[in-house]
């Protein structure tokens, strides 16, 4: 059971990292408020790192 939890946690971190990269690409191409995007990317990166 512990291995399953570890696998699920790792999968969630990988998905969060992928989402952060995607949002980074969107931010580069957008003209929106960069401070808002920076906060979102920071939160997703922290989640991907498991913090």
Q: What is the pLDDT of residues 1-51, one digit of tens each?
A: 888 888 888 888 888 888 888 887 777 766 666 677 777 778 878 877 776
- Name the residue range of residue 44's domain: 2-48
The greatest distance separating any two alpha carbons of the chain, rounded to the nearest whole angstrom, comes to 46
Distance between CA atoms of residues 34 and 51, nearest Å? 23
Question: What pLDDT was estimated at residue 1?
Answer: 82
- Contact (Cβ atoms closer than 8 angstroms) between residue 37 and residue 23: yes
Question: What pLDDT was estimated at residue 14?
Answer: 84
| pTM assigned to the model | 0.46
- Contact (Cβ atoms closer than 8 angstroms) between residue 11 and residue 42: no
Question: What pLDDT was estimated at residue 50?
Answer: 73
Question: What pLDDT was estimated at residue 42?
Answer: 81
Number of domains making up the chain: 1
Question: 10 Å Cβ neighbour count for 21?
Answer: 14
Distance between CA atoms of residues 21 and 25, nearest Å? 6
């Amino acid at each position: 059971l512990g291995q399953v939890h570890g696998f699920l946690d790792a999968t969630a971190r990988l998905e969060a990292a992928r989402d952060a990269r995607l949002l980074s690409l969107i931010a580069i191409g957008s003209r929106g408020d960069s401070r808002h995007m920076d906060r979102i990317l920071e939160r997703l990166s922290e989640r991907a790192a498991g913090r």
